[in-house]
Structure 1
């Protein structure tokens, strides 16, 4: 790896990056760097042997020059469990994402003779996928992908641990935690600040010498403390962001035939804002009729869903005269009778 590269091409970057053998991912923060470079080059439609621009070439040369630093990285593989001598064992899976990548890391915390040790077990990082338009996914969506590979990596690690333990899944995305908890598919998934998340490093990438200095395989400092001193798991999320993330596609179009509407649903041009406006109107009606049981605070998911269905009914009533309406007659619509 001490070779000097005068001319840098996409083929060369891929070739050198693939020479680094990292089956369990302890070098994934630094291996991510050339992968991000390659993705940017793909977007520029460069051929395999076409020279890259000066900025990319300089970054790649710096990365290659720093690779020998990884020789000095030493990670203990004996984790003090297996003979039932440990007093307490907990497994922690951390997930994080950036605009360029998403990642996860699994650590084990072992309490033995009143001493606490934290050991890195495995990690994975992935470059953020591109949409057909060439743009990247939103960070919350990437955070969700990080949670997905985190769950898979934990499953692989857990298959090789025989001792009883508790497991924790950590994320710094309140939106993703809300998605997961409301589906009620996973167990404990607390929130922690991004600065305290060890998965932040492999989700952004860094040079080999920075990886050596970081000692990220030792785990976050707070994990060595008592459990009551760990980051609180309380989640305060942005309901609009949570709700927007659930919508796959626009179901219908808001059209006002005669230009007048009692509910004024054409006040906003975006359906999400219209639904939130309707939700607040329905809340006002509810609070007026039920002064003792008033609804306050952020809109709940149930309120938003009720408002969405109400908007659909208003649009259909104002837009279509029935199943024989010219706009939808070709779709062979029918009215389903209630049971």
Structure 2
């Protein structure tokens, strides 16, 4: 078996680096490709696997660790290659990735906080994209493979979908969040309508739905950039009001009308307010 290390015959210009990361309970894998943007051809640069820690760690945390290894491998590739790389894309199928990075300024578990802080130091959010597990070539390395398996065209040649027009690729995390916000805020006028329009079952965590609502408000105000603390706080207050209205509709309605709450209600002892 041999791997061609002579990347491109027509010189090294208009190059793009793609780094895929993935993890399983057994291993973490990172694989990188260089792409000639004129022909969209991909060439294998390096692939590496690391055994998962003996101590049990959840899959999302292992995928976050793999993302850290991805930015470290990125530094190594840039250091060891003399050619100019014009664009860089990181690919992961970690669904909580953007939430962890956007909450890096907040208190998180030590494991998450340390790694969420390292990634933005060596990459930007617009360089990170989500890819489905079956389309992630790093998934091959997390399952283990034989020498014959290394000849798999998907491993050495990269995913076929990446060699098509960029418009068909998954969008960067930041664009996904803003596009999702645009779709909803185009018909949002009040919090009541927001509560009616959002399918709460789509969001697996508080952070995810909170950030989504923040992007909705931001799009409505025509603002861009990273989320700010006061914006996130305002979105949290909206979420709390939604939950209050759903859990205590009579109490909420009574408070809004400035009427006294019946002392027969246990919640009256807590002096509720909105």
- Under TM normalisation by the shorter chain, which class is it? 0.5 to 0.7
Q: Distance in 1 between matches of 2:100 and 2:89?
A: 17
Q: Flag structure 1 segments of 5+ consecutive residues without an equivalent.
A: 1-72, 244-277, 292-313, 315-339
Would you say the 8 A contact 1:103–1:199 is kept in 2? yes
SS, match of residue 165 in structure 1 = strand
Would you say the 8 A contact 2:137–2:154 is kept in 1? no
Q: Are 2:204 and 1:238 aligned? A: yes
Equivalent runs, 1:49-198 vs 2, <5 Å? 73-80=1-8, 83=11, 86=13, 88-112=14-38, 115-131=39-55, 136-159=56-79, 160-183=81-104, 185=120, 186-187=123-124, 188-198=127-137
Q: Distance in 1 between matches of 2:4 and 2:65?
A: 29
Q: Flag structure 2 segments of 5+ consecutive residues without an equivalent.
A: 105-116, 178-201, 210-236, 247-251, 257-269
What is the TM-score of this pair, normalised by structure 1?
Answer: 0.46
Shift of 1:229: 1.1
In the alignment, what sits opposite 2:141?
Answer: 202
Q: Which has the higher helix share?
A: 2
Query: Over residues 69-99 of structure 1, what are the superposed CA-to-partner deviations in whole Å (9 max), with x where a residue is unaligned?
Result: xxxx222211228955x3x221111110111
SS, match of residue 173 in structure 1 = coil
TM-aligned CA distance change 1:239 to 1:170, over 3 Å = same
SS, match of residue 129 in structure 2 = coil
User: Which of these two proteins has the greater Rg computed from alpha carbons?
Assistant: 1
Would you say the 8 A contact 2:99–2:207 is kept in 1? no
Query: Over residues 203-245 of structure 1, what are the superposed CA-to-partner deviations in whole Å (9 max), with x where a residue is unaligned?
Result: 11012222224551100001111111112443676225879xx
Would you say the 8 A contact 1:194–1:200 is kept in 2? yes
Would you say the 8 A contact 2:17–2:85 is kept in 1? no
RMSD across aligned positions (CA) = 3.3
Paired residues, number: 178
TM-aligned CA distance change 1:237 to 1:155, over 3 Å = farther
Query: Over residues 87-128 of structure 1, what are the superposed CA-to-partner deviations in whole Å (9 max), with x where a residue is unaligned?
Result: x2211111101111111111111134xx22101111221111
What is the TM-score of this pair, normalised by structure 2?
Answer: 0.56
Q: Distance in 2 between matches of 1:172 and 1:230?
A: 14
TM-aligned CA distance change 1:177 to 1:285, over 3 Å = closer
Q: Distance in 2 between matches of 1:125 and 1:211?
A: 13
Would you say the 8 A contact 2:17–2:34 is kept in 1? yes
